[in-house]
Amino acid sequence: MLREKGVHFLAIEGAIGVGKTSLAKIIAERWNAMFIEENFEENPFLEKFYQNKQAYAFQTQLFFLLDRLKQLQHSALQSDLFHDLLVSDFTYDKDQIFAAQNLSESEYAMYDQVAKALNHDIPRPDLVVYLQASVPTLLKRIHGRGRTMEKTIEGSYLSGLMDRFDRHFWNYPYAPVLIINTDNIDFVHNENHLQLVLDAIASCPKQTTYFVPEGK
């Protein structure tokens, strides 16, 4: 379906709790895609970061940067004839959003040097789906999934993060971006809502496109 329109690698993006992994898994199952899932649970610094952001931000971001690069490069090599499509729940570049949000000026300068040194031969998506939601919606979804380490996430932190996500994906240079506002839909539990989202993705926009589905 997507490959016929030139999309071999689809990335689902968005802030914490927006539903990107859920949607990516659904797409992988329905469209017979190879799924690349972010290994956030393997980051040994993440739980400590939520307890003390200032002390563990740099280690957390550096681990994510290197791990995302390794995942994408490995998956690109492992894609096979049984899958016409790769779908991931992250992009390599998203790490810069979190780094800018979480690191001090001196830490970010060092991080940026490492990121630039690695910024070559990186598999990048042909289409990005950026799932957008308001801070109250994100908080509701985060609390609903009940991850212990996320209990300390505050609305002010999410607000700053959302501003950075919006700026990043409105100006994403590597691929068209389909921005979907998810405040009024539940594509996990409502088939009609899901179909609206899948149809929008299947249209394969060639430029940044904003879509506000109305759930019924």
How buried is residue 131: exposed, middle or buried, by Cβ count under 10 Å (0-12/13-18/19+)? buried
- How does the average pLDDT of the chain come out, rounded? 92
Q: Kindly list the structural domains of the chain, giving each domain's residue range(s) and its CATH number in brackets, ordered by start.
A: 3-211 (3.40.50.300)
Query: Which among 67, 80, 84, 89 is annotated as catalytic?
Result: 89
- At 123-132, the pLDDT tens digits run 899 999 999 9
Q: Please confirm, yes or no, whether 166 is among the known catalytic residues.
A: no
Instruction: Tell me: pLDDT of 59 over 70.
Output: yes
End-to-end CA distance of the chain: 26
Q: Which of 30, 1, 3, 18 is nearest to 129 (CA)?
A: 18
Confidence of residue 153 (pLDDT cuts 50, 70, 90): very high
Distance CA 100, CA 120 (A): 21
Global pTM? 0.92
The phi and psi torsions of 90 (rounded to 5 degrees) equal -165, 160
Distance CA 14, CA 204 (A): 18
pLDDT of residue 215: 64
Instruction: Tell me: pLDDT of 1 over 60.
Output: yes
Instruction: Tell me: pLDDT of 64 over 70.
Output: yes
- At 99-151, the pLDDT tens digits run 999 999 999 999 999 999 998 888 899 999 999 999 999 999 999 888 888 88
Instruction: Tell me: pLDDT of 49 over 90.
Output: yes
Put the strands of the sheet holding 86-88 in their side by side order: 34-36, 86-88, 9-14, 127-132, 177-181, 209-211
Instruction: Tell me: pLDDT of 45 over 90.
Output: yes
As a whole-number percent, the residues of the chain with pLDDT over 90 amount to 78
The phi and psi torsions of 81 (rounded to 5 degrees) equal -70, -15
Looking at per-residue confidence, does 77 or 199 come out higher?
A: 199
> SS3 helix, strand, coil % of the chain, rounded to 5?
55, 10, 35
